[in-house]
Amino acid sequence: MELAPWREPLARALHRNRSLAYCRYFQLATIRSDGHPANRTVVYRGFMDQTNQLKMITDSRSQKVQQITKNQSAEACWYFPKTREQFRLFGQLTLITATSSDRILSSERQQVWQDLSDNARSQFFWPSPGQSRVDASEFTPPEVFPVEPPAEFCLLLLEPEHIDHLELRGEPQNRYLYWREANNNWLTQAVNP
Ligand SMILES: Cc1cc2nc3c(=O)[nH]c(=O)nc-3n(C[C@H](O)[C@H](O)[C@H](O)COP(=O)(O)O)c2cc1C
């Protein structure tokens, strides 16, 4: 598979901002069932091999999972402070849960779980997110983390369809749009900032 043309500027931004750990966080907006927006920060976990899909992880009990089941549309907004550029990636989300029947996606979910730090893994053993606060003693992680991810652990993929890349550096600034045609061909256009 050929990489989409926006992958190169995004890879460059990740590389040039690599000294900032928080440059791997972006905001992911979804749509609630009442049509209102919902937005939150997530961690970028790389791309699915041989695809243009961004990987994230989340908890099956979270609000976003309910939203995604009804509406897969989402937009990521990612700012790179060092190079002063923003990427907005609009597309469709795919949630990979414990019951996924796709062999490649299931094994990727397992691999991502195995690569996680214990700290990140422990959150999936916490009481239900968003419910009334319970005693801190109920937040104790297991002594040994299972090799198999718990049912709460989901892999989330964003398949971008439209990208809007804004570079603040430059006089004047630069802005590029990328969009995927029905035949999977990517078009690129420089537009006014
Ligand atoms: C720096 C940072 C990184 C985060 N990374 C994730 C993440 O990778 N996945 C995730 O589900 N939540 C992550 N969160 C928590 C979410 O922002 C959010 O609070 C939580 O997922 C509940 O969101 P929801 O109610 O919209 O589902 C992160 C929060 C912060 C501040």
pLDDT in tens, 125-166: 999 999 999 999 999 989 999 999 999 999 999 999 999 999
pLDDT tens-digit map of 65-84: 999 999 999 999 999 999 99
Confidence of residue 113 (pLDDT cuts 50, 70, 90): very high
pLDDT at 116: 97
Q: Which residues contact 61 (CB under 8 A, 6 or more apart)?
A: 128, 129, 130, 152
Q: What is the DSSP string of 147-192?
A: SSPPTTEEEEEEEEEEEEEEE-SSSS-EEEEEEE-TTS-EEEEEE-
Contact predicate 31/38, CB 8 Å: yes
Reported pTM: 0.97
Which ligand 1 atom minimizes the distance to the CA of 56? 8
CA of 1 to the centre of ligand 1 (A): 31
Whether 95 is in the pocket of ligand 1, judged by its Cβ within 6 Å, is no
Whether 166 is in the pocket of ligand 1, judged by its Cβ within 6 Å, is no
Indicate if the pLDDT at residue 99 is higher than 80.
yes
CATH assignment, 7-191: 2.30.110.10
Q: Tell me, what amino acid is at 90?
A: F
pLDDT at 2: 78
Q: How many residues does the chain have?
A: 193
Cα–Cα distance, 96 to 29 (Å, whole number): 18
Whether 62 is in the pocket of ligand 1, judged by its Cβ within 6 Å, is yes
Whether 154 is in the pocket of ligand 1, judged by its Cβ within 6 Å, is no
Pairing of strands 73-80, 153-167: unpaired
Task: Give domain limits for the chain.
Answer: 7-191
Share above pLDDT 70 across residues of the chain, in percent, rounded to a whole number: 100
Nearest protein Cα to ligand 1, atom 19: 40
E-strand spans in 19-84? 25-31, 37-43, 54-59, 73-80
Confidence of residue 105 (pLDDT cuts 50, 70, 90): very high
CA of 41 to the centre of ligand 1 (A): 5
pLDDT tens-digit map of 162-192: 999 999 998 999 999 999 999 999 999 999 9
